[in-house]
Amino acid sequence: MCTRWDETTGSQGQTLHTLHGTITAMGFRTKQVHGGVKPDPTTGAILTPIYQSTTFVQESVENYMGKGYSYSRAGNPTVRALEEKLTALEGGLDATAFSSGMAATVAIFLGLLEAGDHVVIADVVYGGTYRFADQFLTKFGVDVAFVDAASTDDVRAAIRPKTKIVFTETPANPTLKVTDLAAVSRICEAAGVLHVSDNTFLTPYFQRPFELGADIVIHSTTKFLDGHNATIGGAVVVKDAELQEKIAFARIAAGLVMSPMVAWLTLQGIKTLSVRMDSQSASAMTIAEFLQGHHSVDYVNYPGLPDHPQHELSKAQASGFGAIVGFEVHGGVEAGKKLMNAVELWSLAENLGSVESLITHPVTMTHAAVPRDKRIATGITDGLVRLSVGLEDVEDLIHDLDSALSRV
């Protein structure tokens, strides 16, 4: 049977390629393979070509941008294919890809805030998000409030007349605190405030913030979407054309563009997203259950565990619990360091979401920039260990952890 591809026009004038008429009619696994891409019209190549070109020749002054592209800082066909795929997976209107997850976050702030504005940010977020908000937004005259986003009362109380954005991340990095996205979205809608949700940990396979009322979804594509430790990238997905215009302009103005090669590699990684997430999450649950009974572990943070305080909320707003596990090793900072140095199969590294299992000590690595008193107050304790569970045999991963913990 011959596959029939149709074409429609996207909000920026680029061609959106859909299978059998509409992307939205596809199931998720079909979208992750076919959404946003089509066979190359020149050669029939099944993979989107890497358009490694700085500039694009125009037919005439009168027909400038007639083919949709002029300069790769403003847009590139390979990058655009990734943007269309992410739009399809999240169920948004449009998307913009960036050079990193932090570049995506910065573009939101640059595009939507100005001096005198106020922003509410979850008290537990990626360390780079905290650093930029604390050291740069405040310097540029933006008032920042870090609040417990798991408390809807705290979020509601933090909103002021000048508040423009509420920024959440769920599950949060690295404590896996869960935010009630639907409740926060209702608060934001009532106050006329934008709700930005970082969906990096669960991806659209397990969680779709737009369906829970969010206005903007952000990703570090470096993590699960890539899945292979091969790229650094980010993306912002929106459901409003005006927001898209502002965020896309921030990318052009600040030069935060994703490279075509990164986009191409990420496109390939996304094709196996659901298979990887299912396997990695199942292993994460098994590892979390093992750690709960270990004498060297004080407690385990994993929303999939029935005794996790936000287990029911996690079940209600997501279809899976993810592949990140947090636990407190008995003995604090020194015990955490000993564990990091004792593992063999787990790789000591700052990334997450890859097929290789990674182990991180946030206090000395990803969240070292956060002052200790603020870390402790938000649950980023001295002995906290973050695991990113990969695709290895779970029995081997547990054996390595057990052996390393015995030496702490």
Question: What are the catalytic residues?
Answer: 73, 126, 198, 223
Distance CA 168, CA 146 (A): 10
Cα–Cα–Cα angle for 157, 204, 119, rounded to 5 degrees: 25
Residue 188 has which token pair?
A: 């934001």
Distance CA 61, CA 343 (A): 61
Spell out where 171-268 has E strands: 194-198, 216-220, 234-238
Residue 56 has which token pair?
A: 């694009």
Distance CA 224, CA 266 (A): 10
Nearest 10 degrees: Cα torsion 209, 215, 220, 223: 10
In DSSP terms, 301 is beta-bridged to 326
The residues, ordered by sequence, that sit 6+ positions from 374 with a Cβ below 8 Å of its Cβ are 123, 146
Residue 274 CB coordination number (10 Å) = 20
Strand 194-198 to 384-388 pairing = unpaired
Element (H, E) at 248: helix 241-254
In DSSP terms, 196 is beta-bridged to 167, 216
Cα–Cα–Cα angle for 31, 229, 310, rounded to 5 degrees: 70
**For residues 301 and 310, is the Cβ–Cβ distance under 8 A?**
no
**For residues 308 and 320, is the Cβ–Cβ distance under 8 A?**
no
Distance CA 165, CA 193 (A): 6
**What are the two backbone dihedrals, phi and then psi, of residue 347, each rounded to the nearest 5 degrees?**
-90, 130
Residue 380 CB coordination number (10 Å) = 24
The residues, ordered by sequence, that sit 6+ positions from 43 with a Cβ below 8 Å of its Cβ are none
Distance CA 178, CA 208 (A): 14
